[in-house]
Amino acid sequence: MTIVLIAVALYLLASLALVMGVMREQRRTGRTWLLPALPAVALHAGYHAMAWRAAGGTDLHFFSALSLVGLGMALLTLLVGARGRMATLGVVVFPISAAALGGYAGYGHHLAEGLDVRLQLHAWCALLSYATLAVAALLAIMLWLQERALRRRDFHAWLRVLPPLTELETLLFRTIAVGFVLLTATLLTGVLFVEDLFAQHLVHKTVLSVLSWLAFGALLLGRWRYGWRGTVAVRWTLAAMALLVLSFFGSKFVLELVLHRAG
């Protein structure tokens, strides 16, 4: 638990550093937040490695999967934020990652599932796609807030640490495109490697995932063909992400925490 407490504290410290930068109305948040964020992510990953070693394999139950998605979101924030003004994303992402890690440490340990290499590939594609598209959903919310503030001429300090509207929108669609590719890989590996959808309680999960994939695909097509942007892009992104959350974490919550079955 010491590793977890240190990681949580570092995540919150990184988030606080970013908040202080916004409050000081800095045009750029600087790199101070990286000092606690980098070891926080490393400790987060290290804790999973230690837990899996103790469990004898990869644990992908509800809290573990939630923590891994939080880890992926924090890592993406590091990669994107270190290169520009999108570090502000860490104000939201780092506390989420800290809470997910705390939930896993407190409630989430299970015996490792007997997954072969193919199913592990499917699971990792799924977790990476969820983390990437969750970041896209946060970017969509930031885009909506920025557009709303600009329309109302309500210029808050946090607007100054965000990229220009067009740059934020471009980053949103690039993130969605990467997540869409990963989600496509998830569905393809699921089709190839999952043996029995009914016996493994995967029908509802598959249907919702396909609907989410169709929604993200329609959004990318609409962007390319019709130039969709702004509120339209935000609505499609959040609706598609809601389907994805229901498909994976909704079904895992019901199966594993309510019905106590393998999810």
The CA–CA distances, whole Å, from 204 to 82, 109, 115, 200 equal: 38, 25, 21, 11
Distance from C-alpha of 248 to C-alpha of 261, rounded to nearest angstrom:
14
Distance from C-alpha of 168 to C-alpha of 248, rounded to nearest angstrom:
27
> Which residues have C-beta within 8 Å of that of residue 193, sequence separation ≥ 6?
118, 119, 121, 122
What is the model's pLDDT at position 199? 42
What is the model's pLDDT at position 195? 57
Q: What is the pLDDT along the chain (263 residues), one digit of tens a residue?
A: 789 999 999 999 999 988 887 766 555 556 788 999 999 999 999 999 898 887 777 777 888 889 999 999 999 999 888 776 677 888 899 999 999 999 998 886 665 565 667 778 888 898 999 999 999 999 999 899 888 887 877 766 666 667 778 888 999 999 999 999 999 999 998 877 665 554 455 677 788 889 999 999 999 999 998 888 888 999 999 999 999 988 877 666 665 555 555 55
Element (H, E) at 33: none
What is the model's pLDDT at position 88? 82
